[in-house]
Amino acid sequence: MYEVISIDTPTLGDRSYLVHDGSTALVVDPQRDIDRVLGVAEQRGVRITHVFETHVHNDYVTGGLALAQATGAAYHVNRDDPVAFARVGVADGDLVEVSPFMRIRVIATPGHTFTHLSYVLETGHEAVAVFTGGSLLFGSTGRPDLLGPGNTASLARHQHASARRLATELPDAAGVFPTHGFGSFCSATQTEGTESTIGAEKDRNPALLVSEDDYVGTLFSGLDSWPAYYAHMGPANSAGPAMPDLSPPSPADAAELRRRIDAGEWVVDLRSRTAFAAGHLAGSLNFGLEGSFATYLGWMIPWGTSLTLLGETAEHVAQAQRELVRIGIDRPAAAATGGPLDWSGGERPGTYRRATFADLAEAIGRDGVIVLDVRRRLEWEEDHLAGAVHIPLHDLVARLDEVPDGEVWAHCRSGYRASIAASVLARAGRRAVTVDDDFANVADAGLELSRSERMAA
């Protein structure tokens, strides 16, 4: 008897797994904040004896080494990965006896990286589950371009072959348990559902249904940009990350907050976009906890820039810290709690207007109204507002001088990225309006849509 427990990190689109037989447990691809894993093990009354990494991750800092050190577990990493810490090196075909009831069989599945591994769980010599990391996902595969354009074509073909190998060697009833694919930018395309089996993937996964050439061609056409902080994850994971420090940051008063803003540091307001638009500390930026906070903050902040967090409560600051350590932003310089009046020291709060696409339809044509679309490239190419300026949100800080003079109406798909953009514009002294509306309402608002030549062809 065994149980697979998913430990989800929805803000990054990832899953870790704890598998146990009632007394002994193994863990696959743990996140940095390992207290969640330790809590699950304690609740189940099991001892973690083995930790497995499917690959050197590109989208988060692993907790694998810290978890192994905290529990005394064996830490299994591909023997060909050039890491700076002691590990139990594993390779294709290895068998790892976890307990009398659980065994792991190692299968090489290159594609997401060259040294990617999948781990087959066997009970009674029957393959009952496979932990596929960034290889076979739910209706998709992991993207093959994170190691640079020179490797993408080769990795894409490896990815196709690896998916086929898993489907060939494993029974249809075996459960599929990927690490990526729940909103992660490590997924090549959008994934489907929350659970799957090898048999289900044979019926729906393009990697198992189309030829290698068709798979590679379709995959290439669907690849878009990925967060800039990914560049720092591989080196951090190869070095061997320690357990994070989640103790509260140093408190900052109004004078210190103003000093940090004037010095060009990033002071980030964690409140909702609605609250931020209604009143905020002038010069602060809005990355609300209700959205993909760590992804976009990590993507946009110049790496190493001093960061201060503003939250309504200490719990909000602690939540932000937890999300940030997962991507290697370990210690905020300072933090403050309360609201704009507490943070401003008497300064007049900054504000800007929130609007709908219907409001935008009325405003377009007025002198000085600029429409700024901050969605990603593929979203823009699918359709966009005629006459809009396109600067993806992750490029906005570096390309502010490309935004024409005037009142800038920033929009995205739902409002979250537009609010970040409006705060960036306001910090730069621009007049901003955030279109806090669903892009699906564009047609009803009577706005004209265009498609790129690439998509129309």
- DSSP string for residues in 203-265: HH-HHHHS-HHHHHHHHHHT-----TTHHHHHHHHHH-PPPP--SPPPB--HHHHHHHHHTT-
The pLDDT tens digits of the residues spanning 24-48 come to 999 999 999 999 999 999 999 999 9
Taking all residues of the chain, what is their mean pLDDT, rounded to a whole number? 95
What pLDDT is stored for residue 365 in this prediction? 82
The pLDDT tens digits of the residues spanning 345-391 come to 888 899 999 999 999 999 998 889 999 999 999 999 999 999 999 99
Report the Cα 119 to chain-centroid distance in Å: 23
Does the pLDDT of residue 454 top 60, yes or no? no
Per the CB < 8 A criterion, the answer to whether 291 and 299 are in contact is: no
The pLDDT tens digits of the residues spanning 217-262 come to 988 888 889 899 999 999 999 999 999 999 999 999 999 999 999 9
Class at the top of the CATH hierarchy for domain 353-456: alpha beta
Residue type, 371: V
**Higher local confidence (pLDDT), 457 or 431:** 431
Query: If we measure between CA atoms, which residue out of 65, 137, 53 comes closest to residue 90?
Result: 53
Does the pLDDT of residue 456 top 50, yes or no? no
256/261 Cα distance (integer angstroms): 9
What pLDDT is stored for residue 86 in this prediction? 96
What pLDDT is stored for residue 453 in this prediction? 53
Does the pLDDT of residue 457 top 50, yes or no? no
185/222 Cα distance (integer angstroms): 12
Does the pLDDT of residue 146 top 70, yes or no? yes
Residue spans of the domains in the chain: they are: 3-239, 254-344, 353-456
Residue whose entry in the numeric block shows the structure tokens 């001088």: 401
Instruction: Classify domain 3-239 at the CATH topology level.
Output: Metallo-beta-lactamase; Chain A (3.60.15)
What pLDDT is stored for residue 93 in this prediction? 98
Do the first three CATH levels of 254-344 and 353-456 match, i.e. the same topology? yes
**Higher local confidence (pLDDT), 190 or 44:** 44
353/36 Cα distance (integer angstroms): 40
Instruction: Classify domain 254-344 at the CATH topology level.
Output: Oxidized Rhodanese; domain 1 (3.40.250)
Across residues 37-65, what is the average pLDDT? 97
Positions of E strands within 296-445: 307-311, 334-337, 353-355, 369-373, 384-385, 389-390, 407-411, 432-435
The pLDDT tens digits of the residues spanning 305-336 come to 999 999 999 999 999 999 999 999 999 999 99
pLDDT > 70 in the chain, percent: 99
